[in-house]
């Protein structure tokens, strides 16, 4: 079968491309913004990418067009597909019908931590010999690919598939959240806050979509819930028919320092490279979910002691003159605050330099401007790349004495390079390519 993927360079659609290629399908695709790491992964797989959405691509004549949620009406190729009545399907629906339908699906949902927790779970299963399939919205460093099919495991266990379960809408013709298509048997609800202001009206709107997901979990399934999230309590109170297990706040699973507790019984300590309380909560969720499929907490903790995190999740990209540079995906104010506070607690010397790009649809709309200022308090200096915003970043940061705003990426790189000093930690925070700012700063610090 030949599938042509519209929006192929998004993390989710690139994962589908990798899975389809592994199944033996011919895979091609197109996108408007082609940049690493997904473009590199697709190139390594030998998948041909067309730049843009020209209607001439209709002549490729695939068996089906797989449509990403970045595509809207008016897109030239999509209009041709509709006019010529060519077969098309959403990415999530294609994924379920072709891969997930006969697997034990373990899904990770929530506003924050989905990618990292999914990567933890996949690694726990791999470490314990279950060779799971997975589709993750980033590239786990323990695997170096964002998606793969499960293979037969020596334990003769079910075929497991770990998926990052995104609440964003499915496609322009299916406005349900993507995760409604996955039908998991094990579900993690990590946390829940307002996000995606471009498609959700308010927090209640998002809670309703999460409740739709809860309604799909079988009675013999299990839902792992973060007890510290008020909105998740609201979701569960709307009705639940599956087993429930809670993490945090002295519930079934809890963390104190490095020590993990299950039903108040101390487990082995978790010693690893990751920083921040949020990552320990992610670990609790992964350990609890792994226990549902038959893996002991002891073995999960052993696996996580060798967990190497995910690219763009506080990923150290360079050290120059004792200055450390990190790349991080954090773009929601809560994630920014948690990441910076975690770093603040872990370092003994140097300043924290937060470099942010308000790039997500929610941030571009300016919905969380006030929260953004508060989230950056742990930073000693702030640099904001105010590119393509609908609001005035200069006005927002006008009274923040340690902040600088710039729309020119080259000028910003120079200013950062001139400002930093030995022992500083620079954290680039964006959910995109940051217009190559990281590379430009590295070159400036190396005096290239």
- Helices in 128-221 by DSSP H: which ranges? 203-214
Task: Give mean pLDDT, residues 243-258.
Answer: 89
What is the homologous superfamily of the domain 99-304 according to CATH? Answer: Mur-like, catalytic domain (3.40.1190.10)
Packed helices 297-304 and 114-127: angle between N→C axes, nearest 10 degrees: 110
Nearest of 320, 352, 344, 328 to residue 444 by alpha carbon: 320
Say how many residues make up the chain: 448
pLDDT at position 197: 74
Distance CA 157, CA 212 (A): 29
Quick check: 140 pLDDT over 90?
Answer: yes
CATH of 315-445, one of 3.10.350.10, 3.65.10.10, 3.90.190.20, 3.40.50.2000: 3.90.190.20
Lowest pLDDT segment from 228-242, 271-285, 363-377: 363-377
Q: Is the pLDDT of residue 36 over 80?
A: no
How far is it, in rounded angstroms, from Cα 145 to Cα 83? Answer: 36
Query: Strands 259-262, 265-266: parallel, antiparallel or unpaired by DSSP?
Result: antiparallel
Check pLDDT > 90 for residue 57: yes
Taking the CB of residue 186, how many other CB atoms lie within 10 A of it? 26
Q: By C-alpha distance, which of 197, 3, 174 is closest to 98?
A: 3
Least confident range of 19-23, 231-235, 362-366? 362-366
* 85-134: pLDDT as tens digits: 999 999 999 999 999 999 999 999 999 889 999 999 999 999 999 999 99
Burial 226-265 (b: 16+ CB within 10 A, else e): bbebebbebbbeeebebeebbbbeebbbbbeeeebbbeee
Q: Provide, rounded to the nearest whole percent, the portion of the chain with pLDDT above 70.
A: 99
In this model, does residue 350 exceed pLDDT 90? yes
Q: Please state the three-class secondary structure of 11-72 as a single string.
A: HHHHHHHHHHHHCCCEEEEEECCCCCCHHHHHHHCCCEEEECCCHHHHHHCCCEEEECCCCC
> Could you give the dihedral angle defined by the CA atoms of residues 90, 92, 98 and 99, in that order, rounded to the nearest 10 degrees?
160
The CATH number of 2-91 is which of 3.40.50.720, 3.40.50.1370, 3.40.50.410, 3.40.605.10? 3.40.50.720
Residue 448: the pLDDT is 63
Average pLDDT over residues 399-417: 93
Mean pLDDT of the chain: 92
Q: What count of other Cβ atoms lies within 10 Å of the Cβ of residue 61? A: 9
Give the per-residue pLDDT at 348.
86
Give pLDDT, residue 102: 95
Measured between alpha carbons, how far is 29 from 368 in angstroms, rounded to an integer?
Answer: 34
| In the predicted structure, residue 401 carries a pLDDT above the cut 70 | yes
Asked whether residue 412 carries a pLDDT value surpassing 90, the answer given is yes
pLDDT 10s digits, 290-334: 999 999 999 999 999 999 988 888 888 899 999 999 998 877 888
User: Which has the minimum average pLDDT: 19-33, 38-52, 209-223, 406-420?
Assistant: 38-52
Task: Decide if pLDDT at 160 tops 90.
Answer: yes
Are 139 and 311 contacting, i.e. CB atoms less than 8 angstroms apart? yes
**Cis before residue 37, ω within 30 degrees of 0?**
yes
pLDDT score, position 35: 67
Q: Are 42 and 14 in contact (CB under 8 A)?
A: yes
Contact 331, 433 (CB under 8 A): no
pLDDT grade, residue 141 (50/70/90)?
Answer: very high
Looking at residue 37, what is its pLDDT? Answer: 67
Percent of the chain scoring above 90 in pLDDT: 71
The C-alpha angle 427, 285, 101, rounded to 5 degrees, equals 105
Rounded to a whole number, what is the largest CA-CA distance in the chain? 63
Contact 347, 425 (CB under 8 A): yes
Q: What residues form DSSP beta bridges with 28?
A: 4, 48
Domain extents for the chain? 2-91, 99-304, 315-445
284 has pLDDT over 70: yes
Under 8 Å CB-to-CB from 216, ≥6 apart: which residues?
180, 183, 184
Q: Give yes or no for residue 214 having a pLDDT over 90.
A: yes
CA–CA dist 401, 381 (Å, integer): 9
Query: Tokens at residue 169, please?
Result: 């809408």
Give all strands (DSSP E) within 217-291, no chain letters: 222-226, 243-247, 253-256, 259-262, 265-266
Closest listed residue to residue 431, CA positions, set 33, 108, 122, 16:
33
Supply the pLDDT for residue 199.
Answer: 85
- Report pTM: 0.85
Domains 2-91 and 315-445 share a fold: no
Residue 338: is its pLDDT beyond 90?
Answer: no
């Amino acid at each position: 079968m030949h599938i042509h993927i519209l929006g192929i360079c998004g993390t989710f659609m690139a994962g589908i491309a990798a899975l389809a290629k592994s199944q033996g399908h011919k895979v091609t695709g197109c996108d408007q913004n082609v940049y690493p790491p997904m473009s590199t992964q697709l190139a390594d797989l030998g998948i041909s990418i067309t730049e843009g959405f020209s209607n001439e691509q209709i002549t490729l004549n695939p068996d089906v067009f797989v449509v990403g949620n970045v595509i809207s009406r008016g897109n030239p190729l999509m209009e041709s597909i509709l006019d010529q009545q060519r077969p098309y399907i959403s990415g999530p629906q294609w994924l379920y019908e072709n891969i997930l339908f006969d697997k034990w699906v373990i899904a990770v949902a929530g506003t924050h931590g989905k990618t990292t927790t999914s990567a933890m779970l996949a690694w726990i299963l791999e470490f314990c010999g279950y060779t799971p399939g997975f589709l993750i919205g980033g590239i786990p460093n323990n695997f170096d690919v964002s998606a793969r099919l499960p293979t037969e495991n020596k334990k003769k266990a079910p075929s497991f598939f770990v998926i990052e379960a995104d609440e964003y809408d499915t496609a322009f013709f299916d406005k349900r959240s993507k995760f409604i298509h996955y039908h998991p048997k094990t579900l993690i609800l990590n946390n829940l806050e307002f996000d995606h202001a471009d498609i959700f009206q308010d927090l209640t709107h998002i809670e309703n979509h999460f409740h739709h997901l809860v309604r799909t979990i079988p009675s013999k399934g299990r839902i792992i819930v973060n007890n510290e999230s008020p909105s998740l309590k609201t979701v569960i109170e709307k009705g639940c028919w599956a087993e429930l297990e809670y993490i945090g706040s002295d519930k079934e699973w809890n963390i104190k320092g490095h020590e993990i507790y299950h039903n108040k019984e101390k487990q082995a300590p978790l010693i690893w490279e990751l920083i921040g309380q949020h990552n320990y909560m992610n670990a609790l969720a992964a350990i609890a979910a792994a226990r549902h499929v038959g893996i002991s907490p002891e073995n999960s903790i052993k696996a996580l002691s060798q967990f190497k995190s995910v690219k763009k999740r506080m990923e150290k990209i360079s050290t120059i003159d004792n200055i450390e540079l990190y790349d991080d995906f954090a773009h929601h104010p809560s994630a920014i605050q948690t990441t910076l506070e975690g770093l603040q607690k872990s370092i003994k010397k140097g300043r924290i330099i937060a470099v942010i790009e308000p790039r997500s649809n929610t941030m571009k709309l300016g919905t969380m401007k006030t929260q953004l200022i508060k989230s950056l308090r742990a930073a000693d200096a702030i640099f904001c790349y105010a590119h393509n915003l609908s609001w005035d970043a200069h006005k927002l940061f006008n009274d923040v004495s340690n902040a600088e705003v710039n729309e020119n990426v080259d000028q910003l790189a120079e200013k950062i390079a001139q400002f930093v000093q030995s022992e500083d930690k620079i954290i680039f925070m964006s959910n995109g390519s940051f217009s190559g700012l990281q590379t430009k700063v590295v070159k400036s610090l190396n005096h290239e």
